Amino acid sequence: MDLFNLKDDSDKVSFAAAVKKGLGKNQGLYFPKSFPKFDDINELLDKPFVERSVEILTSLIGEELPEETLRNIVERAFVFSAPLVKVMDNVYSLELYHGPTLAFKDFGGRFMAQCLSEIAKGEPITILTATSGDTGAAVAHAFHGIDNINVVILYPKGKISLLQEKLFTTLGDNIHTVSIDDDFDACQQLVKTAFDDPDVREGLHLNSANSINVSRLLAQVCYYFEAIAQLPVEKRHDVLVSVPSGNFGNLTAGMIAKVMGLPIEHFIAATNSNDTVPRYLKTGEWNPNPTVATLSNAMDVSQPNNWPRIEAMIDRGLLDKSILSGDSVDEEYTQVAMRQLAQNGYVSEPHAAIAYKALMRELKEDQIGIFLGTAHPAKFRESVENVLGQPISLPQPLADCAGKEILSAELPSDYEALKQHLFATLQGE
């Protein structure tokens, strides 16, 4: 697989290098030079999820990873399903939250972890990252128990919910968590300082494993195929897909699936009030506003970092611009949508509800609509219970960790203290 840097065509890398480096020169995103296209889609869609995903990923990645290796990676990464659940006539939810941390980020995170472990070939790596909640959990679970990879996660003390904290601080083994007596920005700053410090960067073989890693996108392509595969053949010709979007990785993956021949007629980029992209699609002007806090907090992003990849697909003529529209759903309509879904017997959370609302504003009578369910309602228990006025029960992974002990170290917001802690924890082994 050949990839190039969207900010510098001459920066070309293999899949392995793109996975290891994450970002290219000048903070540029890596993007595939070309995409394979499937001729007989229905034959591909007939295959089981894992089998089909191996085929899709082999066609994308090519000979760099032998098919057998890729099969092992996929079998370890995709250990949960992505059911397409009928919500009402012609409207379906693709539930992507049946993994260990109850959000779609488990797909990309687990695939990235397995790829990195394969590509590093036993050379030691330290993943250092800061989290405001969800990403940390997905990364921690994805890397838990992988040999030669240590994970250090910083998070702001007392600023995430107890349940969220328990989800990634109770694992132990190669997962090291540190609560920092400050806010999320301070945690992120500590991570940046560590990456700029050659002692730590080289001494501990730092890697960021962040959300712009191309391996995540490739993994996410697979569940769009899984969505269409669950529709009867006669319903596959006029499908609209609505994607609740923050950094736009999820939507990028869907559009790649379309380039590869998957029949999706139209995509909707559904956002909350952080509506940079819907405004851009309407006016042609890129004018990010300051980020505002919403119920769908995983989408509180006003400068989405995957957008250049979508722009590249359109600019290079891989897809026509008309395939995508944008819509922003405010706080009031987010709640209205959650209640409407509940009246149809479907309990949802704010992110999926936004995608549902945007879908219903565009869906025509003869079309099939799919909205992506990106998180389990229990992950946003408080707001769901407030809006719907009914209790939500805890799914198994949350219930399991609720009783476990938090294993985090506590540190002040001070780089020297962190540095000392890193060496003491990681080199003492």
Ligand X SMILES: *Cc1c(COP(=O)(O)O)cnc(C)c1O
Tell which positions 72-111 bind ligand X, by CB under 6 A. 103, 105
- Taking CB under 6 A as the criterion, the residue among 248, 267, 307, 356 binding ligand X is 248
- Taking CB under 6 A as the criterion, the residue among 55, 95, 106, 134 binding ligand X is 134
- Taking CB under 6 A as the criterion, the residue among 110, 351, 381, 419 binding ligand X is 351
Q: With contacts defined by CB under 6 A, name the span among 25-33, 49-57, 226-234, 248-256 that binds ligand X.
A: 248-256
Say if strands 149-156 and 324-328 run parallel, antiparallel, or are unpaired: unpaired
Instruction: Confirm or reject binding of residue 57 to ligand X (CB under 6 A).
Output: no
Least separation in angstroms between residue 146's CB and ligand X is 22
CA distances from residue 158 to 111, 163, 178 in whole angstroms, order as listed: 30, 12, 12
State the Cα angle at 403 between 397 and 406, rounded to 5°. 95
Q: Is 403:395 a contact under the CB 8 Å cutoff?
A: no
* Nearer to ligand X (CB atom), residue 105 or residue 157: 105
Q: Which residues contact 313 (CB under 8 A, 6 or more apart)?
A: 252, 255, 256, 259, 319
* Nearer to ligand X (CB atom), residue 113 or residue 298: 298
Say if strands 368-373 and 206-207 run parallel, antiparallel, or are unpaired: unpaired
Closest by alpha carbon to 369, among 92, 87, 83?
92
Instruction: Confirm or reject binding of residue 374 to ligand X (CB under 6 A).
Output: yes
* Nearer to ligand X (CB atom), residue 150 or residue 276: 276
Least separation in angstroms between residue 70's CB and ligand X is 23
Instruction: Confirm or reject binding of residue 247 to ligand X (CB under 6 A).
Output: yes
Query: In angstroms, rounded to a whole number, what is the distance separating the alpha carbons of residues 392 and 379?
Result: 10
Least separation in angstroms between residue 68's CB and ligand X is 30
Least separation in angstroms between residue 214's CB and ligand X is 13
Least separation in angstroms between residue 352's CB and ligand X is 8
Closest by alpha carbon to 295, among 272, 278, 276, 277?
272
Instruction: Confirm or reject binding of residue 245 to ligand X (CB under 6 A).
Output: yes
Which alpha helices (H) appear in 121-213, and where do they start and end? 134-143, 162-169, 184-196, 198-203
Tell which positions 283-302 bind ligand X, by CB under 6 A. 298-299
* Nearer to ligand X (CB atom), residue 6 or residue 355: 355
Place of tokens 């509940």: 342
Instruction: Provide the binding-site residues for ligand X, judged by CB under 6 A.
Output: 103, 105, 134, 244-250, 298-299, 351, 374-375
